[in-house]
Chain A
């Protein structure tokens, strides 16, 4: 206790010395007690506490609960909200807090964390976000049911599982423009048939499959349109959710198949860069993650990585590229208040999406790596 107190005093001194900005004066910097290898928890909790919207929503959660006269919710989200509430309402600016209830709840909720062993911080973060999102969805459903019970119907909102993924392979080149062109060819598609509506396939057949003379650059499907189904289900989604869109373009018929996958946190591969004396960077890792990739038969060594094209009904060389769509969240600028809780949520629920600038899967004409030669 004595050591902790002197450490807090030292931090207090350092903060004063660093210039006592008004905001800094209102802030709370509390260490978290370790209950036996719980540093994986503490480090993530501190990061989330200083994530503005996360903290504000947690505090609003507490406030709303109080306003509605509910008893403390006995779940992980409730424990998290209480923890943030406790820290943010300390009288002193610096000190140590014991997140006893939160750790207790975590251990009783999830067998994986119910021990004193070293755990993976990322696994914990991922579990916490998904669990919080799920609890919020359940709560919303319950509330809705209760309201419907009173005879009030509200506009529907289907609650799916958190972090769900969705497939939507669009025949006829994922974009409306080309889909319309291909539409002319009707249903009578044989295997290995190539795209291009206006009877462009005279010399077709075989691997060389005639490309539509000049595939028009397909118009971008507006990202807002595409992401409609990712309307933020909960405030956890609104803060953290993003979507990776993988587009695979068949080199034979130019059809683009896309697959969306929602994430709350994004895991990226890191590769050592032996060429650079400075090592690699996060930016380079993200670029590598989203870069265009050739899917082809790599022979004995690499195996057959060709793509099964639903349109050609066969394995084909293809190009794959990934894009990351992020919900554009507004930064919280206002402090929460009890009656403000609901509006606050609304502020975040706008489905505004942005796409990263990763290249799209390009058309294959003139591509040296696949069979198409022109």
Chain B
């Protein structure tokens, strides 16, 4: 298991406050971490599969909303408090962030949960 937290909220000295950085950070369905095992023998790269994303919606660090995208048996679901919806895997890309500072989309992946594939 690998829980990755993207530091999207950073203190900006010139502003004297925390600011949200919504720029695009794409995250793959499969994250490969080439590895070296204990005895030094090289093993095939191990793959981590994305299974959940906590998404922050909104422009600032002190407000906005959180939802999560979760994979269950190869189906993706959007959990938004009380509401649960089945979504397409391709919809996850909408949470990578924005390329322009003025972009409308401020849905940004914030915490990524990866699980390694079965091994040995």
Q: Are B51 and A122 in contact (CB under 8 A)?
A: no
Q: Are A277 and B85 in contact (CB under 8 A)?
A: no
Q: Are A356 and B64 in contact (CB under 8 A)?
A: no
Q: Are A47 and B68 in contact (CB under 8 A)?
A: yes
Q: Are A39 and B113 in contact (CB under 8 A)?
A: no
| Binary B-proximity of A17-48 (CB < 8 A = 1, otherwise 0) | 01001011001011111100001101110110
Interface stretch, picked from A137-145, A251-259, A281-289, is A281-289
Residues of B within 8 A of A281 (CB): 25-28
Q: Are B5 and A42 in contact (CB under 8 A)?
A: no
**Looking at A32, A50, A239, A330, which has the most chain B CB atoms within 10 Å of its CB?**
A50
Taken together as a complex, chains A and B put the C-alpha atoms of A53 and B86 apart, in Å, by 23
Smallest CB gap from B4: residue in A = A266
Interface stretch, picked from A7-15, A151-159, A176-184, A190-198, is A7-15
* Interface residue A146 (Cβ < 8 Å from any Cβ of B): no
A residues 43-87 in Cβ contact with B at 8 Å: 43-44, 46-47, 50-54
Taken together as a complex, chains A and B put the C-alpha atoms of A53 and B3 apart, in Å, by 13
* Interface residue A272 (Cβ < 8 Å from any Cβ of B): yes
Q: Are A32 and B119 in contact (CB under 8 A)?
A: no
Q: Are A52 and B68 in contact (CB under 8 A)?
A: no
Given contacts A278-B24, A279-B99, A354-B37, contact A265 B4 (CB under 8 A): yes
Q: Are B82 and A31 in contact (CB under 8 A)?
A: yes
Whole-angstrom distance from the CB of A235 to the nearest CB of chain B? Answer: 11
Residues of A within 8 A of B117 (CB): 331
| Binary B-proximity of A210-233 (CB < 8 A = 1, otherwise 0) | 000000000110111100000000
Q: Are B66 and A331 in contact (CB under 8 A)?
A: no
Q: Are B85 and A4 in contact (CB under 8 A)?
A: no
What class of interface size applies to chain A in its complex with B?
35 or more
Taken together as a complex, chains A and B put the C-alpha atoms of A126 and B116 apart, in Å, by 20
* Interface residue B104 (Cβ < 8 Å from any Cβ of A): no
A residues 68-121 in Cβ contact with B at 8 Å: 94, 96, 117-118, 120-121
Given contacts A50-B71, A240-B1, A264-B3, contact A282 B31 (CB under 8 A): yes
Please pick, from B2, B38, B52, the residue contacting A353 in the complex, using a CB distance under 8 A.
Answer: B38
* Interface residue A346 (Cβ < 8 Å from any Cβ of B): no
Residues of B within 8 A of A43 (CB): 54-55, 66-68, 79
Whole-angstrom distance from the CB of B47 to the nearest CB of chain A? Answer: 12
| Binary A-proximity of B41-77 (CB < 8 A = 1, otherwise 0) | 0010110000111111000011111111011110101
Q: Are A14 and B65 in contact (CB under 8 A)?
A: no
Q: Are A285 and B24 in contact (CB under 8 A)?
A: no
Smallest CB gap from A50: residue in B = B70
Taken together as a complex, chains A and B put the C-alpha atoms of A32 and B68 apart, in Å, by 11
Taken together as a complex, chains A and B put the C-alpha atoms of A265 and B37 apart, in Å, by 21
16 extra A-B contacts, CB within 8 A, seeds A24-B75, A281-B25, A354-B36: A8-B84, A18-B75, A21-B73, A39-B67, A47-B111, A51-B115, A121-B111, A220-B40, A270-B8, A282-B25, A282-B112, A326-B2, A330-B120, A355-B35, A355-B37, A356-B33
Interface pairs (7), CB distance under 8 Å: A29-B72, A39-B65, A121-B66, A222-B38, A266-B3, A279-B24, A329-B1
